[in-house]
Amino acid sequence: MHVTLPVNRARWCDVDWIVDLLTATIVPTSLGAWLVPDERRRAAVIAAVARIWTEHALLFGDAFLLKDGTAATVWFHRYRPIPPPPRYDERLDDASGEHAVRFRRVDHLLAARRPAEAHNHLAFLAAPPDVDRARQAAAVLAGSHRYMDNLGLPAYAEVHDDDLRLYRRLGYRGRQRLSGPGGATVNLLWRPVPSVRISHSTVATRRVPPALQATPPRTVMTVDAGGGACR
- Average pLDDT score, the chain: 85
pLDDT per residue as tens digits for the range 186-223: 999 999 998 755 443 333 333 333 333 333 333 333 33
Q: Give me the pLDDT at residue 190, please.
A: 97
Q: Which tens digits make up the pLDDT trace of 35-78?
A: 999 999 999 999 999 999 999 999 999 999 999 999 999 999 99
Structural domains present in the chain: 7-223 (3.40.630.30)
Residue 130 has pLDDT above 60, yes or no: yes
CA-CA distances (angstroms) from residue 70 to 8, 17, 129?
12, 9, 10
Tell me, what's the pLDDT at 230? Answer: 66
Comparison of pLDDT for 6 and 23, the residue scoring more: 23
Residue 4 is predicted with a pLDDT of 60
Please say if the pLDDT value at position 156 is more than 50.
Answer: yes
Region for 152 from its dihedrals, namely left if φ exceeds 0, alpha if ψ lies in -120 to 50, beta otherwise: left
What whole-number percentage of the chain has pLDDT above 90?
A: 74
Work out the average pLDDT over 116-141: 94
Higher pLDDT, 220 or 33: 33
Among 1-15, 19-33, 99-113, 142-156, the least confident range: 1-15
Count of residues in the chain:
231
pLDDT at residue number 106? 94
Encode burial over 135-171: b for 16+ CB neighbours within 10 A, e otherwise: ebbbbbbebbbbbbbbbebbbbbbbeeebbebbeebb
Selection from 140, 149, 122, 164 nearest residue 72 by Cα: 140
pLDDT of residue 217: 32
